[in-house]
């Protein structure tokens, strides 16, 4: 997984970047609740300059899903 | 608020806020947030914004949409650990929902108006309940305003579909909550956000997914606004604005260009300087002391004040002047002595970056803002600055400059009197002592926050604390108002007596430096001794709590006949005339005291 994404997730979820692994999803992280989900999405938009539609904001709840979205949208 | 934070600033503030939350901060006080919508993004921004104004808070967001329940239920989280501050954020769209969902055919103007009045009365009742159940807390109510009316396609502002009349009435009602007393502070978001608009601070997706009406930018802006109000509420504002002249108050250098060569007037950049002066005069009118600290030939500079037609700033607006070729740090220290204020009350404005750097180094207590290079930006810069913000301008604020002028006249008069006793009696001083009441609470708190030198215990009581003490029968709170032949000094002294059986303790005794050296402290203390005896006390007790600035009152109690006990407390046995009131001062006390 790219360091850039790792750092964004770690910053919002208040964990160390090493704790973010490639197949992680919201259920695996204690603090990754619905509020954090929105904050993760806003942080990704700022970092990658993408616009995430409302439905995707709810669905992108794992590292693989986020990576796929970013690749599809030509970011990162 | 003139500028929204950038994306990087927002991310940085959030991070900083979360970091502060993780460290142990025993001094942090609780700030409870109650909103009609989801404000879970707000707390880290509040922590950070308060930190920037020198306050340590632990914000906690109440369950959103449960504003009413949390306030009414005595067992709710709001009261479990009583917060020092409560932030109430009611959105018009939530409180007036029928106005947005029902067309005028179903809800006519009369019914709409009745609904607004009803919801306003409810909101008022809720704030009253908070004030009553949390007698020491202050309550900040945000006048949020609606993003837009229900029918933006109908353009006439008075068309019933737009509901603009009702929404305006609602906003006025929220603003009027200020009348609930000094512990209620209205934060007018609706007004402050005019410069950036709703589009920058909301995100439709966050509304649909999380019932959030403010995006992170909005939360950062709101947090900053709340912190600024909280700082102003606690009287943290600076008091003195020290001004350079050439290039700052007017354009150009008068010593070189001459009276006709400087820029200040009705046109072009000259108008920017003139507008800057207008802002200075406005600050002066709300109690900021303007002083000049500049390197000029005094005659050149004074000629501009006296003869230049473009000048809006006049010499009578200035509380003091230092126009010479001395180093400006020395001049500022001199001005501080003359005004009897600490350098930490000063803001210094100079267009010359070298002078600014020098003052920052030589006088680190002085606030030295970066004045914009472009004079055209400066009036707006001064308007947006928060150094002098206060919740309201008290009568004392408005008259402050005048009283410094009167002070100068008194000094002149003192020099012409033959003896000091003579001088005192010819001053025709009157000391008016009153119990603290609603009208004097905010001035009393202001003095508690600001008085450093003649202050025996330096307890920084807030309005809320004073209010709760004044309703407690074991406390007496008094203000001292001083008048003399030169004018009215307003409320310049505060004393708090606490009774416990035979004992009366002077919890607080402070006086503004302006009135010292005129035996008014003797008259005030004599009154306190009499009052304590009347309340049945036989011993009057006082303590001296040392700070960096109150050395001048170290021997106040022993000088007035108090004995120092082993525990360091000073005690005076209350007999007839234990403290003598000076004959030269006429003392007026309230009928019931």
Per-residue pLDDT reduced to its tens digit, A22-74 = 899 999 888 899 889 999 999 999 888 899 999 999 999 999 999 999 999 88
B452 falls within a domain: yes
Cα–Cα distance for residue pair B446/B463, rounded to 1 Å: 8
Q: Could you tell me if B35 and B106 lie in one domain?
A: yes
Pairing type for strands B184-187 and B240-243 reads unpaired
Q: Could you tell me if B326 and B227 lie in one domain?
A: no
B71 falls within a domain: yes
Q: Does A71 contact chain B (CB < 8 Å)?
A: no
Q: Are B490 and B399 in contact (CB under 8 A)?
A: yes
Q: Could you tell me if B211 and B76 lie in one domain?
A: yes
CA torsion sign for B574, B576, B582, B587 is positive
Taking an 8 Å cut-off on Cβ atoms, the answer to whether B216 and A42 are in contact is yes
Would you give the distance in Å from CA B147 to the centre of its chain? 30
Domains of chain B: total: 3
B332 falls within a domain: yes
* CB-neighbour burial class of residue B77 (10 A; exposed 0-12, middle 13-18, buried 19+): middle
Q: Could you tell me if B363 and B430 lie in one domain?
A: no
Q: Could you tell me if B519 and B376 lie in one domain?
A: no
Query: B14: distance to nearest CA of chain A, Å?
Result: 9
CATH number at residue B114: 3.40.50.1110
Q: How far apart are the first and last CA of chain A?
A: 11
Q: Are B71 and B50 in contact (CB under 8 A)?
A: no
Q: Is the pLDDT of residue A1 over 80?
A: no
Which one of B7, B15, B206 has the shortest CB-CB distance to A38? B206
Which one of B40, B203, B215 has the shortest CB-CB distance to A35? B40
Q: Which residues of A touch B204 (CB under 8 A)?
A: 54
Pairing type for strands B346-349 and B429-435 reads unpaired
Ramachandran assignment for B510, one of left (phi > 0), alpha (psi -120 to 50 degrees), beta (any other): beta
Non-local CB neighbours of B224 within 8 Å, separated by 6+ positions: B1, B5, B45, B49, B52
Q: Does A43 contact chain B (CB < 8 Å)?
A: yes
Last residue of a domain, one of B211, B233, B255: B233
Q: Could you tell me if B281 and B144 lie in one domain?
A: no
Which one of A38, A52, A53 has the shortest CB-CB distance to B210? A38
Residue of chain B with shortest Cα separation from A10: B15
CATH number at residue B302: 3.40.50.1000
B412 falls within a domain: no
Taking an 8 Å cut-off on Cβ atoms, the answer to whether A35 and B18 are in contact is no
Q: Could you tell me if B14 and B162 lie in one domain?
A: yes
Taking an 8 Å cut-off on Cβ atoms, the answer to whether B215 and A42 are in contact is yes
B399 falls within a domain: no
Last residue of a domain, one of B188, B212, B233: B233
Taking an 8 Å cut-off on Cβ atoms, the answer to whether A58 and B41 are in contact is no
Q: Hunting for tokens 């350079």 — which residue is that?
A: B244
B397 falls within a domain: no
**pLDDT for the residue numbered B246:** 95
Query: A54: distance to nearest CA of chain B, Å?
Result: 5
Q: Taking the CA of residue B153 as centre, how many other CA atoms within 13 Å lie in the half-sphere pointing to its CB?
A: 0
Q: Does B11 contact chain A (CB < 8 Å)?
A: yes
Q: Could you tell me if B496 and B369 lie in one domain?
A: no
Cα–Cα distance for residue pair B207/B309, rounded to 1 Å: 56
Last residue of a domain, one of B198, B233, B268: B233
Mutating which of B11, B16, B212 best tests the A interface, going by the most A Cβ atoms within 10 A?
B11
Cα–Cα distance for residue pair B510/B455, rounded to 1 Å: 4
Q: Which residues of B touch A43 (CB under 8 A)?
A: 11
Residue of chain B with shortest Cα separation from A49: B7
ipTM: 0.90
Which one of B15, B203, B209 has the shortest CB-CB distance to A58? B209
Residue of chain A with shortest Cα separation from B16: A11
Q: Could you tell me if B369 and B503 lie in one domain?
A: no
Cα–Cα distance for residue pair B589/B154, rounded to 1 Å: 62
Q: Could you tell me if B226 and B256 lie in one domain?
A: no
Q: Does B208 contact chain A (CB < 8 Å)?
A: yes
Coil, helix or strand for B239? coil
Q: Could you tell me if B227 and B275 lie in one domain?
A: no
B141, β-bridge pairs: B88, B186
Digit-by-digit pLDDT tens for chain B (593 residues) are 557 898 889 989 999 999 999 998 989 999 999 999 999 999 999 999 999 998 999 999 988 788 999 999 999 999 988 999 999 999 999 999 999 999 889 999 999 999 999 999 999 999 999 999 999 999 999 999 888 888 889 999 999 999 999 999 999 999 999 999 889 999 999 998 888 889 999 999 999 999 999 999 999 999 999 999 999 998 888 999 999 999 999 999 998 888 989 999 998 999 999 999 999 999 999 889 999 999 999 999 999 999 999 999 999 899 999 999 889 999 999 999 888 889 999 999 999 999 999 999 999 999 999 999 999 999 999 998 889 998 888 777 777 777 776 776 777 677 666 677 777 888 888 999 999 998 899 889 989 988 888 999 999 999 999 999 999 999 999 999 998 887 787 899 999 999 998 999 999 999 987 787 788 999 999 999 999 999 999 999 999 999 888 888 999 999 999 999 888 899 999 987 778 888 889 998 876 54
Q: Which residues of B touch A34 (CB under 8 A)?
A: 210
- Nearest to B509, CA basis, from B592, B418, B463, B444: B444
Q: Could you tell me if B423 and B447 lie in one domain?
A: yes
Tokens of B477: 């709170």
Cα–Cα distance for residue pair B456/A37, rounded to 1 Å: 54
Taking an 8 Å cut-off on Cβ atoms, the answer to whether B210 and A53 are in contact is no
**pLDDT for the residue numbered B2:** 59
Which one of A11, A34, A53 has the shortest CB-CB distance to B210? A34
Non-local CB neighbours of B219 within 8 Å, separated by 6+ positions: B39, B41, B42, B45
DSSP single-letter state for residue B167: H
Q: Hunting for tokens 């707390």 — which residue is that?
A: B43
CATH number at residue B560: 3.40.630.30
The full set of domains in chain A, from first to last, is 3-72 (1.10.1200.10)
Mutating which of A14, A38, A40 best tests the B interface, going by the most B Cβ atoms within 10 A?
A38
Taking an 8 Å cut-off on Cβ atoms, the answer to whether A53 and B11 are in contact is no
Q: Which residues of A touch B21 (CB under 8 A)?
A: none
Range of the domain at B583: 417-588
Coil, helix or strand for B289? strand
Q: Does A17 contact chain B (CB < 8 Å)?
A: no
B408 falls within a domain: no
Taking an 8 Å cut-off on Cβ atoms, the answer to whether B209 and A39 are in contact is no
Tokens of B268: 């072009």
Report the greatest alpha carbon distance in chain B.
84
B482 falls within a domain: yes
Q: Does B215 contact chain A (CB < 8 Å)?
A: yes
């Amino acid at each position: 997984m790219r360091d850039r994404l790792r750092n964004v997730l770690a910053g919002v979820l208040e964990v160390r970047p090493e704790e973010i692994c490639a197949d992680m999803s919201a259920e695996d992280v204690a603090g990754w609740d619905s509020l954090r989900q929105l904050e993760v999405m806003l942080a990704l938009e700022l970092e990658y300059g993408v616009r995430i539609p409302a439905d995707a904001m709810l669905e992108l709840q794992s590292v693989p899903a986020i990576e796929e979205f970013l690749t599809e949208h030509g970011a990162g | 608020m003139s500028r929204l934070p950038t994306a990087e600033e927002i991310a940085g503030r959030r991070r900083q806020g979360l970091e502060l939350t993780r460290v142990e901060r025993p001094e942090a006080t609780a700030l409870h947030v109650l909103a009609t919508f989801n404000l879970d993004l707000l707390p880290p921004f509040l922590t950070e914004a308060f930190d920037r104004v020198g306050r340590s808070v632990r914000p906690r967001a109440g369950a959103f949409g449960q504003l009413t329940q949390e306030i009414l239920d005595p067992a709710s989280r709001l009261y479990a650990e009583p917060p020092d501050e409560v932030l109430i954020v009611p959105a018009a769209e939530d409180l007036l929902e029928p106005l947005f969902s029902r067309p005028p055919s179903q809800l006519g103007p009369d019914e709409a108006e009745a609904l607004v009045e009803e919801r306003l009365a409810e909101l008022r009742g809720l704030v009253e309940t908070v004030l009553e159940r949390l007698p020491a807390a202050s309550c900040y109510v945000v006048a949020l305003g609606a993003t837009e009316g229900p029918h933006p396609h109908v353009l006439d502002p008075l068309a019933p579909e737009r509901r603009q009349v009702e929404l305006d009435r609602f906003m006025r009602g929220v603003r009027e909550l200020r009348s609930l007393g000094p512990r209620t502070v209205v934060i007018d978001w609706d007004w402050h956000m005019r410069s950036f608009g709703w589009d920058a601070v909301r995100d439709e997706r966050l509304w649909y997914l999380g019932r959030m009406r403010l995006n992170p930018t909005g939360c950062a802006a709101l947090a900053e606004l709340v912190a600024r109000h909280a700082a102003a509420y606690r009287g943290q504002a600076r008091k003195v604005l020290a001004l350079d002249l050439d290039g700052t108050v007017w354009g150009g250098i008068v010593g070189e260009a001459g009276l006709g060569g400087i820029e200040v007037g009705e046109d072009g950049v000259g108008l920017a300087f003139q507008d800057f002066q207008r802002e200075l005069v406005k600050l002066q009118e709300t109690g900021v002391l303007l002083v000049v600290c500049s390197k000029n030939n005094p005659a050149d500079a004074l000629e501009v004040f006296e003869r230049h037609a473009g000048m809006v700033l006049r010499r009578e607006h200035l509380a003091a002047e230092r126009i010479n070729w001395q180093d400006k740090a020395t001049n500022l220290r001199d001005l501080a002595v003359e005004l009897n204020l600490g350098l930490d009350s000063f803001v210094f404005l100079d267009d010359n970056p070298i002078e600014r750097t020098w003052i920052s180094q030589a006088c680190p207590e002085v606030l030295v803002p970066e004045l914009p290079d472009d004079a055209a930006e400066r009036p707006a810069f001064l308007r947006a600055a928060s150094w002098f913000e206060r919740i309201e301008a008290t009568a004392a604020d408005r008259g402050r400059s005048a009283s410094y002028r009167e002070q100068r006249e008194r000094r002149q008069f003192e020099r012409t009197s033959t003896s000091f006793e003579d001088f005192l009696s010819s001053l025709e001083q009157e000391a008016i002592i009153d119990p603290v009441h609603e009208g004097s609470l905010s001035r009393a708190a202001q003095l508690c926050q600001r008085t450093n030198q003649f202050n025996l215990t330096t307890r920084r009581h807030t309005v809320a604390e004073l209010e709760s003490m004044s309703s407690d029968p074991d406390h007496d709170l008094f203000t001292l108002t001083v008048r003399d032949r030169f004018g009215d000094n307003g409320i310049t002294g505060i004393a708090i007596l606490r009774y416990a059986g035979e004992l009366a303790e002077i919890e607080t005794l402070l006086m503004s430096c302006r009135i010292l050296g005129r035996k008014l402290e003797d008259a005030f203390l004599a009154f306190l001794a009499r009052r304590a005896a009347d309340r049945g006390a036989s011993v009057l007790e006082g303590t001296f709590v040392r700070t960096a600035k109150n050395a001048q009152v170290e021997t106040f109690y022993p000088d007035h006949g108090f004995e120092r006990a082993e525990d360091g407390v000073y005690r005076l046995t209350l007999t007839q005339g234990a403290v003598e009131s000076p004959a030269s001062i006429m003392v007026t006390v309230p009928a019931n005291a």
